[in-house]
Amino acid sequence: MRTYGATVTPSPSMNTEVGRRINAEFPGTTGSLGCAISEAVEAALSQEGYRYVLGSVLAQVLLHQSVIGLETKAALDKYGIKADMIIGCAGGGSNLGGLISPFAGEMLRGEADYDIIAVEPASCPSLTRGVYAYDFCDTGKVCPLAKMYTLGSSFIPSANHAGGLRYHGMSSIVSELYDQKILSARSVEQTSVFEAARTFARVEGILPAPESSHAIKVAIDEALKCKETGEEKNIVFGLTGTGYFDMVAYQKFNDGEMSDYIPTDEDLRKSIECLPKV
Ligand SMILES: Cc1ncc(COP(=O)(O)O)c(C=O)c1O
């Protein structure tokens, strides 16, 4: 980013009021998407001529990313392939929401059926262990409330989590589809995610982003299940990015220094208790 002329400040920083507040409340925290959103909103509000556009979670982002689903559907239709499973990683829910939108539409209209799976990290399990409630979209509580599956806006994943998807909540659209059982969710531990990433890199010659590797992990698991049962399935998954920005995480994995942390019920209770009373 510095090569392209940006200055890079780790969040939560001491440069914003909300960053200083978060640092005081969570000393030594490694931050999260929720912290960065609060700081970015403050930076935009406090400078003339600046605007902030959230790049994840919100409905317009999913709408934008639906181009992924439309292109996937066009490619499948062109080759006469019907997907059985559609698998996507889920942080804020935007790539998954975009990938599945034309397929979920068919399901909602009763035209077709798919097995749609959202994959999230076991260290930040908003769909699989969160509650469906109104919550703040950011840690500093400067953004409006949204109804979503959430672990509470004060939830910050443990420092050893290197696999991305560090958001406390989930897009309202994906949350509603999950609540309506149009899609299911699974959580996976990061060491198994990096093992899947390594397999994928060796087979495909593409180093995947740790985030994308959550989807790859479940796609491989499902393909192996088919191998055992002899069932044939067309499995579609979203490959959302490259791993070349995540060398530190790959280094930790390859040096055997990566560990898993699954929050306890007590960890989650503390942040879920702080949900706004609506
Ligand atoms: C490469 C990559 N894929 C996926 C995601 C997940 O975000 P979302 O769930 O909003 O698509 C991220 C988020 O940081 C990412 O960097």
> Over the stretch 166-196, which tens digit does the pLDDT of each residue have?
899 999 999 999 999 999 999 999 999 999 9
Cβ(91) – ligand 1 distance below 6 Å: yes
The pLDDT value given to residue 12: 95
Average pLDDT, the chain: 95
In a domain, 32, yes or no: no
- With a 6 Å cutoff on the Cβ, whether 163 touches ligand 1 is no
CA of 5 to the centre of ligand 1 (A): 23
Tell the residue nearest (CA) to atom 15 of ligand 1. 211
CA of 165 to the centre of ligand 1 (A): 6
Residue type (1 letter), 25: E
Residue 31 falls within a domain, yes or no? no
The protein residue with its alpha carbon nearest to ligand 1, atom 7, reads 91
Would the pLDDT of 33 be above 90?
Answer: no
Mean pLDDT of 103-123: 97
CA geometry: angle 225, 194, 247, nearest 5 deg: 155
94 lines ligand 1 (CB under 6 A): yes
Indicate the number of domains in the chain.
1
Position 41 in a domain: no
Tell me whether residue 54 is in a domain: no
Assess contact for 118 and 185: CB atoms under 8 A.
Answer: yes
Which residues constitute the domain of residue 217? 59-273
Q: What local confidence, expressed as pLDDT, does residue 239 receive? A: 98
Evaluate if residue 223 carries a pLDDT over 90.
yes
**d(C-alpha 157, C-alpha 31), whole Å:** 8
Please state the rounded mean pLDDT for residues 227-238: 98
Position 151 in a domain: yes
In a domain, 114, yes or no: yes
Of 8, 35, 1, 10, give the one whose Cα is nearest residue 157: 35
Q: Give pLDDT, residue 55.
A: 85
Shortest CA distance to 216 belongs to which of 149, 257, 163, 172?
Answer: 163
Is 44 in contact with 166 (CB distance < 8 Å)? no
DSSP state of 64: H
Give the pLDDT score at 105. Answer: 97
Q: Please report, for the domain that includes residue 75, its CATH number.
A: 3.40.50.1100
* 141 lies in some domain: yes
Asked if 255 and 237 touch (Cβ cutoff 8 Å), the reply is: no
Residue 182, in any domain of the structure: yes
